[in-house]
A and B are shown apart, each in its own frame.
Chain A
Amino acid sequence: MTNIRESAEAGTAVAEPLGTELDVAARKIEGRSPWRLAMQRLLHDRASMISLGVIGFIILVAIFAPVVAAITGHGPNQQFTAPVGLTVDGQPLGPSSHFWLGTDTLGRDILVRIAYGTRVSLIVGVLASVISVAIGALVGLAAGYLGGLTDTILARLMDLLLAIPFLLLAISLVTVIGPGLVVLLIVIGFLGWASVGRIIRGQVLSIREKEYVEAARSLGAGPWRIMFIDILPNVIAPIIVYTSLLIPVSIVAEASLSYLGVGIPPPTPDWGAMIADSQTVFLYGAWWYLVFPSMALLITTLAFNIFGDGVRDAFDPRGGQLFT
Chain B
Amino acid sequence: MNADTTASTPAPAPDGDVLLRVENLVKYFPVQSAALFRRNREFVHAVDGVSLEVRRGQTLGLVGETGCGKSTLARCVTRLYDLTSGRITFDGHDISKLRPRQMRPFRREMQMIFQDPYGSLNPRRRVGSIIGDPFAIHKTATGAERKRRVQEVMELVGLNPEHFNRFPAEFSGGQRQRIGVARALAFRPKLIICDEPVSALDVSIQAQIINLLADLQSELGLTYVFIAHDLSVVRHVSNRVAVMYLGQVTELAPVEDLWVHPRHPYTDALLSAVPIPDPDKSGQRERIILAGDVPSPILPPSGCRFHPRCPKAAPTCVDKDPVLEPRLGDGPDHLAACHFPVQDGEDISKSRPTISADERVIESGLLGGA
Contact = CB atoms under 8 A, between A and B. Distances in A.
Interface in B90-128: 100, 103-104, 107-108, 111-112, 114-116, 119-125
Interface in B266-298: none
Interface in A207-252: 210-212, 214-222, 225, 229-230, 233-234, 236
A317 to B, nearest CB: 15
A233 B124 contact: yes
Given A210-B119, A212-B119, A219-B111, A233 B170 contact: no
Interface stretch (A28-36, A114-122, A300-308): A28-36
A27 to B, nearest CB: 13
A214 B119 CA distance: 10
A33 B167 contact: yes
Given A215-B114, A233-B125, A220 B80 contact: no
A212 B170 contact: no
Contact of A214 (B107, B114, B166): B114
B133 A219 contact: yes
Given A31-B165, A214-B80, A230-B122, A219 B137 contact: yes
Contacts of A221: 133, 137
Nearest to A222: B100
B311 interface: no
Contact of B166 (A30, A212, A219, A229): A30
Contact of B123 (A30, A217, A234): A234
B170 A34 contact: no
B183 interface: yes
A219 B132 CA distance: 11
- Which bracket fits the contact residues of B? 20 to 34
Given A214-B80, A214-B114, A215-B183, A220 B119 contact: no
Query: Which secondary structure dominates where chain A touches chain B?
Result: helix
Contacts of B107: 218-220
A218 B120 contact: no
A184 B120 CA distance: 44
B138 interface: yes
Contacts, number: 66
B200 to A, nearest CB: 11
Given A211-B116, A222-B100, A234-B124, A30 B170 contact: yes
Most buried by B among A214, A218, A234: A218
Nearest to A220: B107
Nearest to A29: B170
B80 A212 contact: no
A31 B169 CA distance: 10
A125 to B, nearest CB: 28
B122 A233 contact: yes
B78 interface: yes
Interface in B152-204: 165-167, 169-170, 180, 183
Contacts of B170: 29-30
A33 B123 CA distance: 10
A211 B115 contact: yes
Nearest to A212: B122
Most buried by A among B100, B103, B115: B100
B137 A218 contact: no
Nearest to B195: A211
Contacts of A29: 170
B222 to A, nearest CB: 16
Contacts of B247: none
A225 B115 CA distance: 23
Interface string B315-352: 00000000000000000000000000000000000000
A220 B108 contact: yes
B125 A216 contact: no
A211 B124 CA distance: 14
Most buried by B among A31, A215, A217: A215
A219 B170 CA distance: 24
A211 B114 contact: yes
Contacts of B111: 218-219
A227 to B, nearest CB: 13
Interface in A18-46: 29-31, 33-34
Contacts of B112: 214-215, 218
Nearest to B79: A218
Contacts of B115: 211
B61 interface: no
A234 B165 CA distance: 18
B273 to A, nearest CB: 28
Contacts of A219: 107, 111, 133-134, 137, 183
7 contacts: A34-B169, A217-B80, A218-B80, A219-B183, A221-B133, A222-B100, A236-B124
Interface of B: 75, 78, 80, 100, 103-104, 107-108, 111-112, 114-116, 119-125, 133-134, 137-138, 165-167, 169-170, 180, 183
The 3 A-B residue pairs with the shortest CB-CB distance, nearest first, are A220-B107, A233-B124, A211-B120
